[in-house]
Amino acid sequence: MIVADRKPVEEIIEEVKDHDKILILGCNECVTVCEAGGKKEVAVLASVLRMHFLNQGQTVRIDERTLQRQCDHEYLEEVRDIIDQYNAVVSLACGVGVQFMAEKYHATPVYPGVNTVFMGVTEERGLWTERCQGCGECILARTGGICPISRCAKRVLNGPCGGSTKGSCEIHKDVVCAWQLIVERLKALDRFDDYEKLSALKDWSTDRAGGPRKVVREDLQDESKDT
């Protein structure tokens, strides 16, 4: 899932301080699972903002709504008939949702209520860690299912670097050395010999470096739209 973290309340207050009709818009997908932007977090932020403005002597309307997703047209359309009641939206979706909202409702300011951090897993409640950077050309088959691009601080394809110590990365002892994991995994798979295969230079054009990316599946596209 996409993992996000709550923005400090002070920052959100600063974003919306000049608006008096605000919709706090949550998302029922990833940000609900990582407890940053679901229905519950919407309720907390709305309550905090209501108290803040009241305490400031400002009359501000703060409403709450949580959509199934903010990265699909059909769900974002659900606020079409109420959007004009607001002069600002704080979206607690990931950066994707915030932007799609902004594209769809061109004249309504949309502010981010979370910091979108990475694609990762829930290791335990309250602990999420990164697993993928969407480089566009998956190499996990070669690295025993452990990604050196997202999990190595230097994304070395022929690791580990000289800073790997007792299984930890040089940047912090709490960061696991991805290449230590890869080596252990290759051994467990009885593929340790594969370690010596040199990894060729990576084509980063499918990564961020290649510019904004898109996936086109003509077989899935609606043909009636073409003509």
Partner 1 sequence: MRLQYPSNIQIILVPCTGKVDVIHMLHAFEKGADGVYVVGCMEGDCHFNSGNLRARKRVEQVRKILDTINIGGERVQMYNLSSSEGLRFTQFAIEMNERILKLGPNPIKRAADKAA
Partner 2 sequence: MKVKTPSKLEKILAAGHLAVTSECGPPRGSDMEKISEKAELIKDYVDAINITDNQTSVTRMCSLAACIRLKLMGLEPVLQMVTRDRNRIALQSDILGAAAFDIHNILCLSGDHQSFGDCAQGQNVHDLDSMQLAQTVRLMRDEAKFLGGGDISRPPQMFVGAAANPFADPFEIRVPRLAKKIAAGVEFIQTQCIYNMEKFELWLQIAGDRGLLDNVYILAGVTPFKSAGMAKYMKNRVPGIEVPDELVKRMSDTPKEKQAEEGVKICIEQIQHLKEIKGVHGFHVMAIEWEEMVPEIVKASGLYPRPSVE
Min CB(197)–partner 2 separation in Å: 8
State the Cα angle at 145 between 117 and 180, rounded to 5°.
Answer: 85
Q: Please answer whether residues 176 and 167 qualify as being in contact, where contact means their C-beta atoms are separated by less than 8 angstroms.
A: yes
Residue 60 or 161: the one with the smaller Cβ distance to partner 2 is 161
Min CB(165)–partner 2 separation in Å: 4
- Please count the residues of this chain forming the interface with partner 1, following the rule CB under 8 A: 16
Q: Point out which residues bind partner 2 (CB under 8 A).
A: 153-167, 170-171, 177, 180, 183, 195-196, 198-201, 204
Among residues 93, 74, 117, which one has the least CA distance to residue 23? 93
Residue 126 or 162: the one with the smaller Cβ distance to partner 1 is 126
Residue 13 or 153: the one with the smaller Cβ distance to partner 2 is 153
Position 83 contacts partner 1 (CB under 8 A): no
SS3 content of the chain, % helix, strand, coil (to 5): 35, 20, 40
Residue 55: contacted member of partner 1, partner 2, none (CB under 5 to 8 Å, by partner type): partner 1
Residue 85 or 199: the one with the smaller Cβ distance to partner 2 is 199
Radius of gyration of the chain (CA): 22
For residue 100 the two structure tokens come to 């799609």
Position 9 contacts partner 1 (CB under 8 A): yes
Q: Please answer whether residues 70 and 51 qualify as being in contact, where contact means their C-beta atoms are separated by less than 8 angstroms.
A: no
Give the x/- contact pattern for partner 1 in 21-50, rule: CB under 8 A: -------------------x--xx--xx-x
Position 59 contacts partner 1 (CB under 8 A): yes
Position 56 contacts partner 1 (CB under 8 A): yes
**Torsion on CA atoms 214, 220, 222, 226, rounded to nearest 10:** 60
- Of 28-36, 55-63, 68-76, 144-152, the segment contacting partner 1 by CB under 8 A is 55-63
State the Cα angle at 208 between 71 and 68, rounded to 5°.
Answer: 10
Q: Please answer whether residues 65 and 25 qualify as being in contact, where contact means their C-beta atoms are separated by less than 8 angstroms.
A: yes
Residue 23 or 135: the one with the smaller Cβ distance to partner 1 is 23
- The secondary structure element, H or E, covering residue 128 is strand 127-132
What are the residues binding partner 1 (CB under 8 A)? 9-10, 13, 40, 43-44, 47-48, 50-52, 54-57, 59
